[in-house]
Structure 1
Amino acid sequence: MNSQSRGRVLIINPNSNEAVTAAMGVAISCLSCTTGVEMETRSLAGAPFGIESEADAARVAPMLAELVGEEEAGYDAFVIGCFLDPGLAACRHMTKKPVFGIGECSIYAALSLADQFGVLALSRASVGRHKPIFRRLGVWDRLAGELPLSISVAEAVSEESVYPRLLDAALCLRDSHGAGAVVLGCAGMARHRQRLQDDTGISIIDPVQAGAMRALGAVLTNQAASA
C-alpha cells in the first residue's frame, strides 16, 4: 500500500478472460482517483474462460475462497466479479474482511432506486442461472422481468454493434414490464451503462461498479470508525 492510499480493495474476476478483467478495471478506475482507495482487478488463475454453468460456478468457489484466504492481510475488502456471485459464502467464511458479490450488490442498488427492477442477461441460459439469486435474496415480487440479449461475453465487452439490442431490451423492460431501474447482468457490460441511462431515462446499474461502491463504503466506514 502506498503512503497516500486509504485502503485496498481486490476485485476478482472468477474466470480467465482478461478482456473482462480489463473492462472491470476501466469501470471502477474513477473510484481510486476520487477516494484514494486502491482498486485492483485480477483474473482467477486456473479458472475457466467463462462462468457459463452451475458447474463452472461450483468449480471456482473453492479457488476463490483460497485466494481470499491467501490475500486477506493485504486488502481491506474483496469483491467477487461475477453476477452469479460464485463462492460468496465460502469467501466470507475465509476472512473477517467484508466480501461482496456484484450480483447481490447490483440488485440491492436497483431496489434502492426503484420499486421494480429488470435485468439484461447475456442469454436464455443466463436467465435460468440467475433465478437462484433472486430466490436467495427474496426479491421475486420486485423483479419486473429479465430479458436475454443473445450475445456473447466477448460481444458485450468489445462490440459497439450490440448496443441497439441492449437499448431495445432496456426500453422493453421499462415500457412493457414496468422496470424503474435495469441491472446489467454481466461484468463486461459497463461500457454501455451511461449511454443506456441517457437513452432510457431510468437508472442503469453496472454490477461491477455497484460491488466496488459497496466495498469502498465499507472500507471508508471502517476507517472512520477507527479514527
Structure 2
Amino acid sequence: MKIKIINPNITQRMTREVEEAARKYASPGTEVYAVSPPTGPDSVESLYDEVLAVPGVISEIIKGDREENADAFIIACFGDPGLEAAREVTDKPVIGIAQAAIEAARLMAPNFSVLYVLDKSQKIIENVLKLHNAENECCSIRSIGLGVLESEDKEKLLKALTEKGRICMEQDGAECILLGCAGYVQFAEKMKDELGILVLDGVVPAVKFCEAMVEIGAKIPKRKLCDFPDKKEILGFDNLTKF
C-alpha cells in the first residue's frame, strides 16, 4: 500500500523528519512518502496560518488520489488543518495526526496533556480538541514557548518538552503526553524513557491507523456528509477542482 503524508507547511526539513519517522514504523510492504504543498506558510502556528495552509493540503490530497495512486493520506499538523474538507474530495482514508494521537491515547491513557509551540497556538489546540470531542479527556494544554522554526537546537527543544511534560504529570495528573507539533516526532521515544509515561507524537499512530483502514478496505462513504463537492466556478484554484 502507499501512504501519502502532507506536511501543511513548506519547511522541507520538517517534511523529511516526518517521513523518516513514518518509514521507521511502517509495516513491510507499506510505501510512505511525505510532501510539502507548493503553497502555504513556512510554519502553522496561528489560525491565520491554518487558513493559508488548507488549499495546499487539499491540492495534495487530490493529486495523490488522482495522479499518484495513494491508498491513504495523513495530514501532519496537530491542528488537522483541512481534515474534514479533505474527506470530501477523496474516498480514501484521511487521518490527521491530532486525531490519531487522541484516539491512541483513548485506548491506552485517556487522561492526557498536549504540549504545543507558542502561546498564540492555543486556539488551534482548543479547536482540534473540540473537533474530536476530547476536551473532557485533556488534563491540560501547555506551550513550551519555542516556535516551529526555532527547533534547530534539538537538545534545547527536548529539554523544554521534557520539563513541560513533567509539569503535566506532577501538577495536572496527565498519564500521557501528546506532542502537538509534527516537528516533535523525533522526541517521543526519548521523552517516554525520561518521564516513564506514554508519549505520542501523532505521526506513528496515524501510519498504523491508515494501514489498518486500507487493509480492511475502508472507504469514506459518498452519500451525504462527505459527498464530493458540487461542481461550480472557483476562481484562482484550478488545482482544487479536479476531484
TM above 0.5, yes or no, is yes
Q: Equivalent of 1:102, from 97, 104, 123? A: 97
In terms of fraction of residues, the more helix-rich structure is: 1
1:157 positional shift: 5.6
Do structure 1's residue 72 and structure 2's residue 92 form an aligned pair? no
Deviates more, 1:102-111 or 1:7-16: 102-111
- Deviation sequence 1:13-38 (CA, Å, 0-9, x none): 01100011011012112234x42110
Take 2:190 and 2:125, find their aligned partners in 1: how far apart are those partners?
Answer: 25
Equivalent position of 1:117 in the other structure: 112
Cα pair 1:12 1:42 within 8 Å, conserved: yes
Take 1:184 and 1:173, find their aligned partners in 2: how far apart are those partners?
Answer: 12
Equivalent position of 1:42 in the other structure: 35
Q: Equivalent of 1:202, from 197, 200, 203? A: 197
1:222 positional shift: 2.2
Cα pair 1:20 1:157 within 8 Å, conserved: no
Equivalent position of 1:11 in the other structure: 5
Q: Equivalent of 1:167, from 151, 159, 162? A: 162
Cα pair 1:157 1:188 within 8 Å, conserved: no
1:51 positional shift: 1.3
1:164 positional shift: 1.9
1:159 positional shift: 1.9
**2:146 is aligned with what amino acid?**
I
Do structure 1's residue 193 and structure 2's residue 194 form an aligned pair? no
Structure 2 gap ranges (5+): 219-243
Equivalent position of 2:127 in the other structure: 132
**1:29 is aligned with what amino acid?**
R
Equivalent position of 1:4 in the other structure: none
Take 2:186 and 2:146, find their aligned partners in 1: how far apart are those partners?
Answer: 15
Q: Secondary structure at the match of 2:142?
A: strand
Deviates more, 1:69-78 or 1:183-192: 69-78
Q: State percent identity of aligned pairs.
A: 27
Do structure 1's residue 31 and structure 2's residue 25 form an aligned pair? yes
1:220 positional shift: 2.3
Take 1:179 and 1:28, find their aligned partners in 2: how far apart are those partners?
Answer: 26
RMSD of the TM alignment (CA)? 1.6
**2:56 is aligned with what amino acid?**
M
Take 1:29 and 1:72, find their aligned partners in 2: how far apart are those partners?
Answer: 20
Aligned residues: 216
Cα pair 1:11 1:212 within 8 Å, conserved: no
1:212 positional shift: 1.6
Cα pair 1:76 1:97 within 8 Å, conserved: yes
Q: Secondary structure at the match of 2:85?
A: helix
1:158 positional shift: 4.9
Q: Secondary structure at the match of 1:93?
A: coil
Structure 1 gap ranges (5+): 1-6
**TM-score normalised according to structure 2 size:** 0.84
Take 2:190 and 2:85, find their aligned partners in 1: how far apart are those partners?
Answer: 36
Deviates more, 1:22-31 or 1:150-159: 150-159
Cα pair 1:105 1:207 within 8 Å, conserved: yes
Equivalent position of 1:153 in the other structure: 148
